[in-house]
Amino acid sequence: MNSIGEACTDMKREYNRCFNHWFAEKFLKGDGSGDPCTDLFKRYQQCVQKAIKEKEIPIEGLEFRGHGKDKPENSS
Amino acid sequence: MKIWTSEHVFDHPWETVTTAAMQKYANPMKPSVVGVDVLHRPVDPSGKLHSHRLLSTEWGLPSIAKSLIGAERTKTYAQEHSVVDPVRKAMELRSTNISFTYMVSVDERLTYKPHPQDPEKTVLTQEAVITVKGVNLRSSLEGLMASTVSSKARKGREAVEWGIRKLSAEVEALAASARGSIRAPVAAE
């Protein structure tokens, strides 16, 4: 599945591979700390935020905030 | 205002269904969803995973209409917020449209939980509230939209089943490859 920003699709796929593995093998098995995908997510997000601005997608005022701000202190 | 609800049982445990549901939009049953992005994905202090996603859907207009209207304007957007609680084994998902909110509001809620009588099964409860704003034909439009939601919901469930089959096939392929590599040194002797 593509990203909303065409340039972001590869970054998204890389992040998704990391996330899907962590989600099934760690998070669902009770080990939700230490998310290894933070850097991949940051890179992917920078691209997506740019695409949202360029396409003028109306997300202002919605509950999306930054990325990872609510994460516990000990996550990687 | 129209409310539509449905319940469905998957013949798979909650972890399998939740994993497939998280990957749901890469599937052939919903070709109109053309873009999905995660915008925010924190684990909250109680250990629940939140995902905020932005979805873009293509109307499926013929290309001449798109060239008249402009390719970007034939897309509609929705937002989705899901919460996964790995301790209580519950996934809740809520999505609302962002586009055309001045005309219509579609608010869908889904809950995936283990079946109360059989832990190898999962119950999906779905609910949609549809409100068409300021239109005389309100109730028939809302009825039409409710049947569209119902058909999309069925496709959504088929998409999760598809995801589960795909995951099983990948696991089987990995297991077969692992068995093959364990046998090989023995055969060489």
Give the DSSP letter string of B70-108: -GGGGEEEEEEEEEEETTTTEEEEEEEE-TTTTTEEEEE
Over residues B138-142, mean pLDDT: 68
The per-residue pLDDT for range B141-189, each reduced to its tens digit, is 777 777 888 888 888 888 888 888 877 777 677 777 777 766 655 544 4
pLDDT for position B88: 96
- A 10 A CB-CB count for B21 gives 23
Distance from chain centroid for Cα B68: 31
Confidence at B115, pLDDT banded by 50, 70, 90: very high
Residues in Cβ contact with B131 at an 8 Å cutoff, skipping those fewer than 6 apart? B1, B2, B104, B105, B142
B11-70 confidence digits (pLDDT tens): 999 999 999 998 876 444 455 788 899 999 999 999 999 999 998 887 666 667 667 766
> Rounded to a whole number, what is the distance in angstroms from the first to the last CA of chain B?
73
| Best residue in B39, B57, B94, B98 for a mutation probing chain A (most A CBs within 10 Å) | B39
- Nearest Cα to A75, choosing from A20, A5, A26, A25? A26
Which stretches of chain A score pLDDT less than 70? 60-76
* Residue A65 in tokens: 């905030």
Sign of CA dihedral B129, B134, B135, B136: positive
Higher pLDDT, B82 or B135: B82
State the complex-level ipTM.
0.81
pLDDT > 70: percent of chain A: 78
Contacting B residues, span 18-37, partner chain A, CB-CB under 8 Å: 18-19, 22-23, 25-26, 33-37
Taking the model in full, what pTM does it have?
Answer: 0.74
Q: Closest Cα of chain B to A62: distance in Å?
A: 9
Alpha helices in B102-137 (DSSP H): none
What are the φ and ψ backbone dihedral angles of B28, each rounded to 5 degrees? Answer: -75, -10
